[in-house]
Amino acid sequence: MRVFFITSNKGKFLEASTILREYGIELQMDVNHKKVEIQSDSLEEIVSAALANVCNGPVSDYYVVEDDGLFINELRGFPGPYSSYVYKTIGIWGILKLMADARDRSAYFKSVVGLCGPNGIRLFTGVVHGEIATEPRGSGGFGFDPIFIPLGYSNTFAELGLDVKNKLSHRARAFRALGEWLLGNR
């Protein structure tokens, strides 16, 4: 069974491949397929549309697409599905500015992993709840990790490092659900 992850994000690939190795699956990075992302408030819609572009005919291998976002309740879900665009424009600084006098700092990261293969399309979801820090802390991870403190911890994802992040992150949860499904259905 070959499983290709259509992504050019090395941070995501590292996290996903570490998880799937627990299930004996050697994930391969696929940079040849172009991941077409539509604009939508729903990660499920974005992932389904991206998969439809790849698996528009019978396939013999498995292809994986993932999309995720940081949803901040005080900001009505912003930056949500547009987290990577927001990260590269207004960045962590912008989020902290928007949250400067927020009463509610709660937020969640959500990941949707889409799989297409010989037996069709399936989606797997992972969520981790937490809150937005008042300043960036830590150097691990990527994106908004330095300002996200998962529930039950006092450190940010960037401080906790990959080992802890891969126990509880949204992406870890979604890829673990994928790993379990693949073990049972390949």
User: Which CB atom, from 23 or from 74, has the smaller least distance to a second copy?
Assistant: 74
Clarify whether 104 is annotated catalytic.
no
- The contact set with a second copy (CB under 8 A) reads 36-39, 41, 46, 49, 75-82, 85-86, 88-90, 94, 97-98, 100
Comparison of 56 and 60: residue with beta carbon closer to a second copy: 56
- Amino acid at position 27, single letter: L
Least distance CB 166 / a second copy (angstroms): 27
Of the candidates 67, 68, 101, 163, the residue annotated as catalytic is 67
Task: Give dist(CA 136, CA 104) in Å, integer.
Answer: 18
Q: How far is CA 77 from CA 5, 47, 82, 108, in A?
A: 27, 18, 10, 9
- CB nearer a second copy, residue 18 or residue 40: 40
Q: Where are the beta strands (DSSP E) in 40-105?
A: 62-72, 79-80
For the bound state, the minimum distance from the C-beta of residue 183 to a second copy, rounded and expressed in Å, comes to: 32
Are 173 and 117 in contact by the 8 Å Cβ rule? The answer is: no
